[in-house]
Amino acid sequence: MKILRTPDARFANLPDYPFDPHYTEVPDGDGGTLRIHHLDEGPRDGSIVLCMHGQPTWSYLYRRMIPRLTAAGLRVMAPDLVGYGRSDKPSELKDYTYQAQVDWLTAWLEANDLKNATLVGQDWGGLIGLRLLAEHPERFARAVAANTGLPTPNRVPKAVAQDVREFRAQLATPTLPEMMQALSRPDPAHPGRAFVYWQVYNWNTPDAPVGGIVAGSVAGPSGRSLTAQEVAAYDAPFPEPRYKAAVRAMPSQVPSLPDDPSLPANLRAWEALERFEKPFLCVYTDDDPVSRGGQLAFIERVPGARGQAHRQFDTGGHFLQENRDEDFAHAIIDLVGSP
């Protein structure tokens, strides 16, 4: 496995990101090691909040929330997934699988010996984080699922699955505007096609404008505009296209068809979640085209979600850490502080 490491100079003087880096070496699964970066802010004896980001962001996403959480006495640990942020970046598309990300973060979790932690997972941070929670429930005291899910496409109708396969095989690489429009306006006659645009665009675009994609997702109809410096900060981990293998590969790793290799592990994870009685909070936005309505499965199936003060915001977009940072932080603080 060939590993790339973003030069430290790329992370100098980023706006609102004064945090010191911390690193953990974990096995790469190929006989070598990977260096995973994380933030560790707040009092050492504070209750740990594990903030996990998704695609195509990094721990910079939580910069507006961290001061609010630490001011409440919480200790925030925010890792960068392998391939993102200041973490190492395997250079080949084939290096990235759902299971590999779970394995790498499991090794990180155990090396740092997290206990009684509160999981906060958004986007891929939820797909991976909920697997950690299900496989190591003894390390977690509670969880927050935010604009995320744990896909188990075993019940996708055969006709829909076949339509998605055929559409993926014949779809020409969309432009960025075409991809963004497809995500924001899915075709009700063809469920599943919208996400194919995202998968095909990323897989076939070696130098996707990461900062621009995040900025476009944040702005939305009612979101805020990222500054040029903030956009550059989201681009910072990727000095060259060859650093973007994770950005390209991970959308295609989201389980979406019944023959997905991650399906058995996710089904086992759901079995564990259906026994999870510790507090489980959902924080979702109605205008997120990716995960809208995803909280319903957790509220119905996870015992710890019953009776919780779930948050459902009209607006906030996919990256609610940018548009709903105060509300999101308060939801976490209220949960951790509850009996």
Residue among 124, 100, 135 at smallest CA distance from 51: 124
Quick one: what percent of the chain has pLDDT higher than 90?
93
pLDDT > 90? residue 337: no
Q: Judge whether 318 counts as a catalytic residue.
A: yes
Amino acid found at 88: D
- Say how many C-beta atoms besides its own lie within 10 A of residue 109's C-beta: 22
pLDDT digits (tens, 9 = 90+) for 12-48: 999 999 999 999 999 999 999 999 999 999 999 999 9
In this prediction, residues 80-86 reach a mean pLDDT of: 98
pLDDT digits (tens, 9 = 90+) for 99-117: 999 999 999 999 999 999 9
pLDDT of residue 223: 80
Q: How far apart are CA 105 and CA 82, in angstroms?
A: 8
Residue among 282, 281, 290, 297 at smallest CA distance from 317: 290
CATH of 3-153+260-337, one of 3.40.50.280, 3.40.50.1820, 3.40.50.2300, 2.60.120.620: 3.40.50.1820
Model pTM score: 0.96
Q: Judge whether 136 counts as a catalytic residue.
A: no
Give the list of residues 6+ apart from residue 330 with CB closer than 8 angstroms, or none. Answer: 68
Domain ranges of the chain: 3-153+260-337, 157-204
The long-range contacts involving 270-275, CB below 8 angstroms and separated by at least 24 positions, are 270/134, 270/150, 270/152, 270/301, 271/134, 272/133, 272/134, 272/135, 272/137, 273/130, 273/133, 273/134, 273/150, 273/298, 273/301, 273/302, 274/301, 274/302, 274/303, 275/303
Q: Judge whether 288 counts as a catalytic residue.
A: yes
Would you give the end-to-end CA distance of the chain in angstroms?
Answer: 46
Q: How far apart are CA 60 and CA 300, in angstroms?
A: 32
User: Residue 30, SS3?
Assistant: coil
Quick one: what percent of the chain has pLDDT higher than 70?
99
Question: Buried b vs exposed e over 174-201: b needs ≥16 C-beta within 10 Å?
Answer: beeeebbebbeebeeeeebbbbbbbbbb
CA 200 to each of CA 84, 111, 127, 241, 330: distance values in angstroms, whole numbers, following the listed order: 20, 35, 20, 17, 37
Amino acid found at 214: V
The tally of CA atoms less than 13 A away on the side-chain side of residue 85 is 26
pLDDT > 60? residue 339: no
Range of lowest pLDDT (108-112, 288-292, 303-307, 333-337): 288-292
Active-site annotation holder among 37, 38, 53, 318:
318
In this prediction, residues 56-73 reach a mean pLDDT of: 98
The long-range contacts involving 263-267, CB below 8 angstroms and separated by at least 24 positions, are 263/152, 263/153, 263/154, 265/98, 265/99, 265/102, 265/131, 266/131, 266/150, 266/151, 266/152, 267/152, 267/154
Amino acid found at 297: A
Active-site annotation holder among 80, 95, 103, 123:
123
pLDDT digits (tens, 9 = 90+) for 247-293: 999 999 999 999 999 999 999 999 999 999 999 999 999 999 889 89
Alpha helices in 245-324 (DSSP H): 245-249, 263-273, 295-301, 320-323
Give backbone dihedrals phi and psi of 3, rounded to 5 degrees, phi first.
-110, 135
Average predicted confidence (pLDDT) for the chain:
96
pLDDT of residue 338: 59
pLDDT > 80? residue 191: no
Active-site annotation holder among 28, 103, 288, 325:
288
pLDDT > 80? residue 220: no
Contact of 232 with 337, CB cutoff 8 Å = no
Residue pointed to by tokens 């699922």: 145
In this prediction, residues 188-214 reach a mean pLDDT of: 94
pLDDT > 70? residue 182: yes
